[in-house]
Structures are given as structure tokens and as C-alpha cells.
Chains A and B, each alone.
Chain A
Amino acid sequence: MTSLDLLGKFLQFATGLLVFAIVVALILFLLDRGAKAERTSLQLGLFLGPALALLGIGLIYPAIRTSFLAFTDRAGEFNGWDNFVWMFTQDQALITLLNTFVWIFLVPIISTTIGLVYAVLIDKSRGEKYFKMLVFMPMAISFVGAGIIWRFMYAYRSANYEQYGLVNQIIVSLGGEPQQILQSWPGNTLALIVVMIWIQTGFAMTVLSAAIKGVPAEQLEAAELDGASAYQRFLQVTIPGIRSSLVVVVTTIMIATLKIFDVVRTMTAGNFNTSVVANEMYTQAFRAGEPGRGAALALILFVMVTPIVVYNVRVLMKQRQIR
């Protein structure tokens, strides 16, 4: 590459940006000049159009193609329900499905509970800001980063060597034998779930803490005057007051958990029976060279996410009606 080439590429890029800006400006200008009555529908179309087109290319077309792929074999020939039969008959594939259920059951419940309790405990305390920061920090770390950090936490050396994994060091200093934490099922899946909880608790805590502050003080005072204990007030006043936030938190974490890939990939790569649907999807489609099986797993994942999304939307809509 010569300097001239580079300059050429730079100019090309700059020209591209300029053309884009001019086109957008032109559209806005024309819209503004249109007759008032037409304006709203025309504006709607012009503004939504590009987004809808991109959605079609980026979401709808791939979804349709994946659905077709799920019924084909390695060479792209139609093979009926074979991929789904494989999914529900292979013990390895079954463990993958089972693990995924364990993940979506445990992670949202545990991280929301810990986040909620923590938010209540530190509410209005002196160092609230700092306590919040401590728990929120893992959220800022990428999943891959978190996976690598925790792989070191669980690292194993046999008993006669110095441990460098924190967890095993603790076990050894308490007089125990070091454990191969990531190698035996179902303990290893739980160990991976811990990582996800570690990441998601901060999110639950932040959202719920804000919601708790939104519960009207009058309601709590009234309950106190009526003689409700602190625990009763929490259960009868605070919880109903933050119900919609709770739903959002639980469902958001649930969806994130369903798609969990990075943590499993970096820590065990799905070995030792730790695989989950999203990881298996990638492995089948790209490593095993079975795009059909990968697509079938993707469809299953889609089917599993849908009810959660629908529920989430319904709760949000109901909330809007009340307001």
C-alpha cells in the first residue's frame, strides 16, 4: 500500500460521509416543505422506512432462513425432523437442554434476590454510593473477561503443588483436598452459574434500588402507623410497589441467561457436560459443520425466549393502561 492509496481511501471515506449527510439533509428538507396534512403519515414512513428495511435484512430474513436450515442436513438437503430427533435423543444434546433450564431457573432468581436484599440493606445507608459501586462493577466487565477471571479463581493444581486458584487455596487452607471444580457435572454447571450471577446481581441491584426509592414515603408511613413491622412493610408495601421493576429485571436477566455463550465458551468450551444451547448452536454449526443442527438449536432457543418476551411486553402494556 502506498501513501497515495491511503489518501485515496481516506478521501473515499470522507466523500461517503458527505453524501450520506447530504441525502439525510435533503430528506429532512423535503419533509418540512410537504403539506401539513400529509406530513405525519409521510414523515412516519420516511423515518420508519430505513429502520424497517434494516430490520427485514438483519432479523426477519435470517430468521426465515434459519427456520429452513433447521430441516436440512450437512449437505443442505431436506431431511425432515432429523435434527430435532437428534436433539431430543442424544444424551449429550439432552444434557445441553437440561443445563439451559438449570441456568434460566437459577440465575434470574438468585441474582434478583441477592440484588434486592442488597438494595434494601444499603438503602439510605452512609456509604450507599460505594456499596453500590462494588456490586455494580462486574457489570462493566465483558462476559469473556469475567470467564477468564473466574477460570483463574477455579484453577486447579494437585495437592502437592502450590495452588494459584483462589477457591482451591481457600479449600486447602481449611484443610481440604483441592477440587477439579470445572470437571464434574453438575457441580461445574453451578460453578459457571455463579459467574453469571456475579455479573447480573449488579444490574438487579441498581434497577431495584431506584425502584425502592420511588415507593411513596406516605404509604410506608401509613403502614407503620397501622402497626406493620419492617418485614411486613417490605413484603406488603415495597414489593407491590416495585413489582413492575422486578418483572423487568427478572425477564431481562432470563433472556440474557438464555443466550449465555461467552462464559461457557471461555471457561469449559462446553466440555465436561457444561454445554448450553447457545454454545452448542455455535459448536454444531461451525465446528462440527452441521449447520442444520445449529439452526434447529437456534429455533429451540427462539421458542424458549418468545414467552418471556411476550410476558414482558404484556406487563409493560398493562402498566401503561393504569397510568
Chain B
Amino acid sequence: MGNSQRRFTTGLGIVGVSVLALTGCVGDMEEQGGDEADCSVYEEYGTFEGAEVSVFGSILDLEADLLNESWADFEECTGISIAYEGTSEFEEQVNVRAQGGNAPDLAFFPQPGLLSALVEQGHVIPAAESVEANADEFWSEDWKTYGTVDGEFYAAPLMASIKGYVWYSPSFFTENGYEAPTTLDEMDELTAQIAADGTTPWCVGFGSGSATGWPGTDWLEDYVLRLHGPEVYDQWVNHEIPFNDPQIVEAMDRVGDIIKNPDYVNGGFGDISTITSTDFGDAGLPILDGECALHHQASFYAGFWPEGTTIAEDGDVYAFLTPQESADGELAVTGGGEFVGAFRESEEITAVQTFLATDTWANNRVSLGGVVSANNGVDPANAEESGQLLVDAIALLQNPDTTFRFDGSDLMPGAVGANSFWSALVDWVSGDDTETVLKRVEDNWN
């Protein structure tokens, strides 16, 4: 056997072995699936042989696993396999992929502003009738509007979160005789009281990689809504009043009274400058060590506490909503959510999009824990396993008397809501004054 010939047969051998090894793995994968699902619920979607739908979103790790679990039965019964891919740089990557002609079938847009930008560029296609029917049935008019661009409906909501919770330690509160405030003034008094008693009241973190600054936008939006009401909030978000309107300046200064006061921040981390260098996920943790008492962050922060932390009114941590300006004012909250937009049209994509807009899916996902939904068909009791807080949050979202406003920065154009607004807060915390940074955002809004 010549030298070259031997080399050839060795190569062939290696290829053969690796093909065998690979196919072996695939064979094993086929075996999985577990218990039989009840397929009668999924009959309406029809059956597809070997269809695959790619989904792109910003949901990662454990939460992504739960997503996959939430639609496992649907996949099994319809034969559509949903390939979910999550990234921490969704806002950039979805643009990169859409402009590069490499768009996924579906994307979970966390920002209506980003959705409408991609609609305007002609990438996202209008939702099918079945999707719109579900949106009409299960969501309020407001929520449907967020997925609508220029009167055309594109994307149904997926999950939701309520922003503006203030996390605290119930035991620390009882030991010191503190009570959850019912007005903004009371919250200021409580802050001053805690500081006077020798604890740094707040811990704040705006760090989030290339998105650093966004937690600050939540603070400002909460205060604008509570101090000036939903009308001014809408005008501000839609740019009918300038970004640096005196009312907005007032709201931001009010936030500044707390988080730019060196006596009030930054418990467990250091001085004010640590706000921008502290990652938002770590920011609330010093509450557990008694280094600070209060932390402003959305309902999803429930998932950021270390394993074993009990979230309950008598547990390790709990949260109250950022109070209204006056105790008897109507309940107004800000919040966020994802929207399922399609880049392509096909029966299986529509089937998935339709399914994700149903109460069936929403209940599936809420039962798995950790999230809430504004879907009217969700039974709040399904969230019980995740604690009373999320049960209340769902009830709050479903209550028609609640004034709900979507996170403002997510509705603004990307150049503002995902860029200059964020950097304005970074500059503001680093020392620039309110008028200067708000003016900078206004100048950037073309």
C-alpha cells in the first residue's frame, strides 16, 4: 500500500467514525420527549411534518429553558420544532440580522419602538388574522396598540413585567418600625429616617454592559407618571412636549433628591459614582446583608435573588410599588413586555405566532414561575408557586382600573430610547445637571 493511499484510507476511516458518532447522538436525541401531551388543545393548529420555526429574543439561561418547556407540548403535537435563540445584545443583533438578510422567523421584541423601526424599514410583516383575533380576545386595547404601527397590527404581546417595585427586607423594616410608604413624600421621609438611623437607605445600580443607564430611565418614567399623570406622560413619550419640558426636569430633580444624595446611596457599594459601575443584577443584593434598605427595580428582579431567598411579606425580601403622589390617587404603574413579530410568512410561523398569543400558552408559562402576563385569560393563581407578589402583579395588570403605561424609553425611537436617554442618565449620575442632560436628549430627537 503506497503512502498516499494509506493516508486516504485513514482519512476515510476518520470520517466514517465521526459520522457514526454524530448519528449516534442524533439517534439518542430522538428518544427524548417524556410523557404524552394532551394534543386535543393543539388540534386547531394542524400538523406539520418536520417544520422548524426560528425564534430570536433577549431571554437567556434559565428563563430560556422555561420558554422551551412552555411550548414543548405544542411542538410535540403539531410537529413544529421551535428553535429559540437568545442573546444579551438583542437590540443590536436583530438589526444586524434583519439588514443582513438573515432575519429569524419570529422575534420577541422587548421594545415597541424597535418593532416599529423594523416595520418602517419593511422587515417585519403584518400579523395574520388569527393572531389579531387572539390579541383582541386576550389583551386590552392598550396592549394591542403597542404592537400596532400606523393602524396596522404586527405583533401580539407575550409576557409582561411591572416596573417600579421597591424591594426591601421585611425583617429589617419590622425591627426598626418602618412601614411601606403610601405617598412619594412619605417615601422621602422614610429615606431620611433610615439615613438618620445610620443605614444607607438605597442601593442603586445602572450598569448593564452596552445598555448601561436603562435602570435610570425606569426611575424617571415612574416619577413622571406619578407626578404629572398619564396625559403628560404620553405627550412626553410621543414628543408632543420637549424632552426637557419643565415638568420632566421637576420629576428628574425629584429622583435626584434621592439617588444623587451621597447620604442616601449607594449602600454596600460606595459613593454615587458606583451607581454606573454596579451591575443592575447585583445592585439589590446588599439588602440581604442589611447594607441598604431599598432597591428600585421591576418585578423581574424576583429572579435575581440568590437561590434560597424567600420572597414574601414575612420572608427575606419583598417589594412595594413606588407610591403615588397622593394616597387616594388612582393607581398608575409603568411596565414592559415582549411582542412577537414575524419576518416571514408561512403556515407554521403563523401557527406559532397564534399559539403564543393564546391564554393556553400564557398559563403554561406563568405556571412555570418567575414571570407575569397581562393576558386576560391568565389565572393569577397559576403564579402562586412564585409567591404572592407575582399573583398580585397579574391581578394588577388585569384590573381595568389600573392606569398602565408602557415603559417610555421602549416606545421612543431607538436613537433616544436605546441610546441618548441611557447615556443622559449615565452623565447625570456622573455629575452633569438635569437641564444639560435633558437638553442633550432633546437635541438628539430628530
Contact A271 B276 (CB under 8 A): yes
Interface residues in B374-411 by Cβ distance below 8 A to A read none
Please indicate the chain A residues that have their CB under 8 angstroms from the CB of B22 in the complex: 6
Q: Which one of A213-221, A223-231, A284-292, A301-309 is at the B interface?
A: A284-292
Query: Total A-B pairs in contact (CB under 8 Å)?
Result: 99
Q: Mark B284-320, 1 if CB is under 8 A from A, else 0.
A: 0000000000000000000000000000000000000
Query: Given known contacts A7-B23, A286-B92, A288-B414, is B273 in contact with A75 (CB within 8 Å)?
Result: no
Please indicate the chain A residues that have their CB under 8 angstroms from the CB of B430 in the complex: 183-184, 272
Q: Which one of A43-51, A155-163, A196-204, A312-320 is at the B interface?
A: A155-163
- Given B19, B270, B276, which contacts A272 in the complex, CB threshold below 8 Å? B276
Contact A74 B415 (CB under 8 A): yes
Most buried by B among A3, A6, A82, A161: A3
- Given B121, B274, B423, B444, which contacts A271 in the complex, CB threshold below 8 Å? B423
Contact A7 B270 (CB under 8 A): no
Could you tell me the distance between the alpha carbons of A282 and B19 in the complex, rounded to whole angstroms? Answer: 40
Contact B426 A271 (CB under 8 A): yes
Whether, in the assembled complex, B209 has its beta carbon less than 8 Å from a beta carbon of chain A, the answer is yes
Contact B276 A76 (CB under 8 A): no
With an 8 Å Cβ cutoff, the count of chain A residues facing the other chain is 41
- Given B30, B209, B273, which contacts A183 in the complex, CB threshold below 8 Å? B273
Contact B277 A90 (CB under 8 A): no
Could you tell me the distance between the alpha carbons of A9 and B121 in the complex, rounded to whole angstroms? Answer: 35
Contact A2 B95 (CB under 8 A): no
Contact B271 A289 (CB under 8 A): no
Query: Given known contacts A75-B120, A269-B209, A282-B92, is B415 in contact with A288 (CB within 8 Å)?
Result: yes
Contact A158 B269 (CB under 8 A): yes
- Given A2, A6, A180, which contacts B273 in the complex, CB threshold below 8 Å? A180
Whether, in the assembled complex, B144 has its beta carbon less than 8 Å from a beta carbon of chain A, the answer is no
Most buried by B among A74, A92, A271: A271
Could you tell me the distance between the alpha carbons of A199 and B22 in the complex, rounded to whole angstroms? Answer: 40
Could you tell me the distance between the alpha carbons of A178 and B26 in the complex, rounded to whole angstroms? Answer: 54
Please indicate the chain A residues that have their CB under 8 angstroms from the CB of B92 in the complex: 282, 286-287
Q: Mark B407-445, 1 if CB is under 8 A from A, else 0.
A: 000000111001110010010001000000000100110
Whether, in the assembled complex, A283 has its beta carbon less than 8 Å from a beta carbon of chain B, the answer is yes
Whether, in the assembled complex, B117 has its beta carbon less than 8 Å from a beta carbon of chain A, the answer is yes
Please indicate the chain A residues that have their CB under 8 angstroms from the CB of B27 in the complex: 3
Whether, in the assembled complex, A1 has its beta carbon less than 8 Å from a beta carbon of chain B, the answer is yes
Could you tell me the distance between the alpha carbons of A183 and B19 in the complex, rounded to whole angstroms? Answer: 52
Please indicate the chain A residues that have their CB under 8 angstroms from the CB of B114 in the complex: 289
Please indicate the chain B residues that have their CB under 8 angstroms from the CB of A284 in the complex: 415, 419
Contact B212 A269 (CB under 8 A): yes
Whether, in the assembled complex, A10 has its beta carbon less than 8 Å from a beta carbon of chain B, the answer is yes
